[in-house]
């Protein structure tokens, strides 16, 4: 298990993760997009894959009237925070379940909807995970993926920067850690057997001190710090496509843009 995954099994980290997620304006703006893509009528049985602390399960659950939302995660500390909810009302219809993303502890065709948010880049076997999602969904069921993405390469330098981004991430977070492009996600879903029902790219411009409020921001900061040491050519292209990182004493000023893909696969 990588050191990055180990952190999610630590209770104090799970609490801090939940607090930071609550303060993210980008997350808040993406939530309605997720709810819209799921198209819940109210009585659905929904799977929240890699639910973490249940931060995204709550707004989805609010659209269920008689349905249930099952939050699956292998990190017990995250599930503990999701269930405690000391400072807020329990998530309506929410049931926490411990289990692996490569072998769901559910029989086939039991869910009407499934989703995973800010987790795809962690999965060691993304295609196997998607096939599991297909297996547990009923015909006509939807699986929505929302994740930070790299830009689609337009030339060889873009592709080289993309590969370097993932090389840097693998060094610190394990050999399977990977940021995809929006097109990559669609291809994976198609390969797993899904029909692509919709796909959107949401881009947010930022000009701020530090990475607070930017989902997976600490990973992007690692990337920016390392790319500055590679070559002026790579640094310039990264700044053109992503963001400029300027160290000002102990603080880092961030100016640029971050993209998130929302892709909905449908079981036919």
CA 124 to chain centroid, in Å, comes to 14
What pLDDT, in 10s, does the model give residues 170-181?
999 999 999 999
Q: Are 222 and 172 in contact (CB under 8 A)?
A: yes
Residue 17 tokens read as 């993760």
Q: Is the pLDDT reported for residue 20 higher than 80? A: no
Note whether 231 and 239 are within 8 A (CB).
Answer: no
Q: State pLDDT tens for residues 85-115.
A: 655 678 899 999 999 988 999 999 999 999 9
Whole-structure pTM value: 0.91
pLDDT above 70: residue 1? no
Give residues with Cβ within 8 angstroms of 141, minimum separation 6.
Answer: 111, 112, 113, 114, 266, 267
Provide the CATH number for the domain around residue 255.
3.40.50.150
Could you tell me the residue range of the domain that residue 91 belongs to?
A: 3-266
Query: How many domains, in total, are found in the chain?
Result: 1
Q: Are strands 251-266 and 195-209 parallel, antiparallel or unpaired?
A: antiparallel
Render pLDDT for 24-49 as a digit per residue (tens, 0 to 9): 899 999 999 999 999 999 999 999 99
């Amino acid at each position: 298990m990588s050191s990055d995954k180990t952190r999610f099994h630590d209770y104090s980290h799970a609490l801090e993760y939940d607090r930071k997620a609550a303060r993210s304006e980008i997350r808040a703006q993406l939530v309605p997009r997720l709810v819209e893509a799921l198209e819940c009528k109210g009585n659905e049985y929904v799977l929240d894959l890699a639910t973490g602390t249940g931060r995204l399960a709550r707004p989805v659950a609010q659209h269920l009237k008689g349905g249930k939302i099952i939050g699956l995660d292998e990190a017990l500390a995250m599930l503990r925070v999701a269930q405690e909810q000391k400072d807020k009302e329990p998530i309506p219809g929410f049931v926490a379940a411990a289990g692996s993303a490569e072998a769901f502890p559910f029989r086939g065709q039991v869910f009407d909807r499934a989703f995973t948010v800010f987790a795809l880049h962690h999965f060691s076997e993304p295609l196997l995970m998607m096939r599991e999602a297909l297996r547990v969904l009923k015909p006509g069921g939807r699986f929505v993926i929302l994740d930070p993405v790299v830009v689609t390469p337009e030339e060889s330098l873009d592709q080289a920067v993309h590969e370097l981004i993932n090389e840097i991430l693998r060094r610190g977070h394990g050999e399977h850690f990977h940021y995809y492009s929006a097109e990559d996600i669609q291809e994976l879903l198609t390969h797993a057997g899904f029909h692509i029902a919709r796909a959107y790219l949401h881009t947010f411009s930022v000009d701020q001190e530090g990475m607070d409020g930017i989902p997976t921001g600490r990973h992007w900061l690692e990337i920016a710090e390392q790319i500055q040491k590679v070559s002026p050519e790579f640094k310039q292209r990264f700044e053109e496509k992503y963001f400029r990182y300027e160290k000002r004493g102990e603080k880092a000023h961030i100016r640029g843009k971050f993209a998130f893909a929302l892709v909905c696969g449908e079981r036919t």
